[in-house]
Amino acid sequence: MKLMVTLLVKAATECVSGVDNLFASGKDKDPKTFPDYGQYVPKHEFQAFMYVLPFLWADEEFWYRDPRTLPWEVMMPFVTKVNALRAMLMYVLYMVLDETMWGWRPKTSVTGGFPNITHEPRKPVDLGAMARNAVEAITGIMVFQDPVADLTSQRLKNYMQEDNVLHTPEGAGPEGGRLPVHVAEVLRQVEGSRLKKGGWVCGDAWFGSVTSVVELMIRKGVYSSECCQALLHSLHC
């Protein structure tokens, strides 16, 4: 297991395409040599390991289902575990919010292996799977991931229930009502990362609204603002 995981992590640093190239040996077109994983493990064993790895944390009910119909629940136990370990190990006082998008690459299924597809035309790849995430601003280490699931599942997440309503201090924004989606996502990021009270978080236009600023201060005692290069520069200085 340790060998397989080590090779898998190393594969993420290799600028090659596909498993076959990982097992090639000798010189490539440039001076760099191929990874030559075959000296450590047979290719078919590595392929089998990659196939079953996502199911190590999943409930047994998902083991025998068609991979093209698997929901986010297959990988969420792993994501939840990683989030918990990061939050336990990191002391988070300054945090930056953004999102990650994995491009849609269909081969044998409509969604290309994703439980659902997100459409975001402003990204380098319009279609794919998306996760909202938080980075600790001093070390640059990602401390929390929140995959964007289908609409029904998203509405079941924290801060999207009926009793989570906006605070409405005078002049602070909308006149009551349920929390907007982006505010709920910001609150989940701050809560999941265990950002310290009195800390600071910033994000782009999706995360940095006035409503988010108000809710974060009232609920979490956290300062926040819309992200800009000047703020990040002053933070590192």
Distant-in-sequence, close-in-space partners of 111: CB < 8 Å, separation ≥ 6: 68, 104, 117
Predicted TM-score (pTM) of the model is 0.78
pLDDT for position 71: 87
* pLDDT digits (tens), the chain, 237 positions: 889 988 888 887 766 566 778 888 887 676 777 888 899 999 999 989 988 888 888 888 888 888 778 888 888 898 999 999 998 999 999 999 998 888 887 777 777 778 888 888 877 788 888 999 999 999 999 999 999 998 888 888 999 876 677 775 544 445 556 788 889 999 999 999 999 999 999 888 788 888 888 899 999 999 988 765 444 444 444
pLDDT for position 15: 62
Return d(Cα 130, Cα 89) in angstroms, integer.
Answer: 25
pLDDT for position 34: 81
Return d(Cα 108, Cα 126) in angstroms, integer.
Answer: 20
| DSSP-derived secondary structure for 21-34 | HHT--SB-SSSSBP
Q: Where does 86-222 show beta strands of DSSP type E?
A: 94-103, 118-119, 127-136, 142-147, 200-203
Distant-in-sequence, close-in-space partners of 13: CB < 8 Å, separation ≥ 6: none
